[in-house]
Amino acid sequence: MITALVTGGTGFVGSHIARALAEKGYQVRILRRTTSRLDAVANIDCEHMIGDVNDYESLLAAMDGIDWVFHVAAIADYWRSDPAHIYHVNVDGTHEVLRAAKAKGVKRVIFTSSAASMGYADRLHPVNENVRFNWDQHLTPYGHSKFLAEAEVYRAIREGLDCVILNPAVIIGPGDLNQISSSVVLEMARGHVPPTLPPGGTTVIDVRDVAAAHIAAAERGRTGERYLLGAVDVTHKAWTRLTAQAVGRTMRDLVVLPDWALYLLAEVVDPLRRLGIPIPMEGNQLKLSTRMMFFDCQKSWRELGEPRIPIQQSLRDTYEWYQAHGDI
């Protein structure tokens, strides 16, 4: 019987991976902090280990007898976090996880990276796994941290550790406790309908499809390969309309702002945030939102399986989950 450890197992993606593993009959262990919320794992048959990805000794203890490690723990809400903390957890923490996995003889590590670790191409040309990170690192410290974390993975592979890298695009679905990507559903349900929108777009995927891809990667992914995970490309305008339909909101005509207006606004937002004004976005987000950040996920569809959950269902399920948990 294979035993799997999920770092960040109480979080949005990690809890879904832990649940999917348990449902497939694998023995599951999660690594969490003493302060972690347990809502998402309350009914999952799994063992809990207390530790931290930056605490090497706790990682060694958590990996005792483990076959697969799903390294999911990361700082994902980058607009709320100090860049130094992002790098410490996402890069240094990954180094420690890989070091412990090698020391304990783990058979395979599945690393949850991000589509943000990819570079950019032409405005409407989808990016695939071969496009190297070429952003200004100050524009996207989160993406840069994931790029550097992948470098740690490749170093571990050269040293003999079996690893596979997964790069999810924007993830939505039920169970987003920390209100990261799915927060748009919550805000729309509360009546916070934006009067204007950025001109760009993105690739999205349901969290349950992301979890299924992780297990497929453990079972049959190719060592050293990166797999972009995404289901559908949507513009921000289409995304907003789909969200409004899911939560029963009536949409008025939406004004799509030009690029220059977003860049100008970005110069204003960050100083206001530094003054303590609670603005739920930062300047770099606004700048990035002008781009069509679409990803070619054909490789993962061929080798790991195609996404199965329509985006409209994902949005409805997210809305109903927030309702059931009293957030709306």
Sheet strand arrangement including 226-229: 47-50, 27-32, 3-7, 68-71, 108-112, 163-168, 226-229
State mean pLDDT over 32-46.
Answer: 88
Give the pLDDT confidence score for residue 133 in this predicted structure.
84
Averaged pLDDT of the chain: 89
Tens digit of each residue's pLDDT (9 = 90 or more) over 222-254: 999 999 999 999 998 889 899 989 988 877 777
237 in Cβ contact with 256 (< 8 Å): yes
Token look-up 């049959």 returns: 220
Tens digit of each residue's pLDDT (9 = 90 or more) over 75-125: 876 556 678 999 999 999 999 999 999 999 999 999 999 999 998 776 667
pTM for the model stands at 0.92
Domain extents in the chain: 3-173+204-232+294-309
**CATH of range 3-173+204-232+294-309; options 3.10.20.600, 3.40.50.10420, 3.40.1190.20, 3.40.50.720:** 3.40.50.720
Cα–Cα nearest to 290, from 185, 132, 139, 146: 139
